[in-house]
Copies of this chain bind each other. A is one copy, B any other.
Amino acid sequence: MKLEKITRRSYDDACATAHALDLIGERWAMLVMRELMMGPRRFSDLRAALPGISANVLTQRLEGLEVAGIVRKRRLPPPAAAQIYELTEWGLEAEPILLSLGKWAVRSPRHDPTLPLSAVGLMLSFRAKFDPARAKGVEVSVSFRFGEEVFSVGVHKGVLTSERGEADRPDVTVAGSPAAVAGLVYGKAPLKEWEKQGSLAVTGDRAALKRFADIYEMPPKAG
């Protein structure tokens, strides 16, 4: 059985930043939190979204985050009856940490945007890179479909909203992989290229999609 010792290594530093790293500074911890930022997930969802993590380590991280009060384990009522993990209120409040990490690292000369990307990672990048000044006058509602995962993203009155689930009456719906959507929004290739190679399928107001993509622009790399 278990019986393992919970001898967590600590920095023994009163600085709150150091304490944060005691809590969520271990390998994979913040990426597990990232995947929970858009709502509850199951164990195997997390494994699939985090290629490279082993079941072993995922179990340990979820245990540690639960003990720390960041993650809650819950069993859905029948007939679903599945076990899910979700962030607590306080865990959700860690979002600015993930966004500030992303905003900073996107300027890294070594950043490679061609690597695999999770759906939640893409949704959070929309939040991180959102600039209300560039969104002035833009009114649009987009539905993104990544296989089973569906997200609703809207820009209204200079505010970005994004959540899991189908949009009410989206202007446009985009289906494909997170990487292809990132390529469209952040890259230079026009929509037609992505459609030609079958990476994206768009239904609805294509001009609305362009208005959304035009909000985003890559910041310059650090020298």
Chain A residues proximal to chain B, CB less than 8 Å: 11-21, 23, 25, 27, 30-31, 34, 51-52, 68-69, 88-90, 93-94, 96-118, 121-122, 124-125, 128, 179, 182, 222-223
> How distant is the Cα of A88 from the Cα of B223 in the complex, in angstroms?
10
Q: Are A19 and B108 in contact (CB under 8 A)?
A: yes
Given A23-B108, A89-B222: A101 and B17 interface contact (C-beta under 8 Å): yes
Q: Is the CB of B17 within 8 A of A68?
A: no
Which B residue's beta carbon lies closest to that of A49? B13
- The answer to whether A15 and B104 have CB atoms under 8 Å apart is no
Is B51 a contact of A30 with CB atoms below 8 Å? no
> For residue A116, which residues in chain B have a CB less than 8 angstroms away from its CB?
12-14
Contacts of A12 in B (CB 8 A): 51-52, 115-116
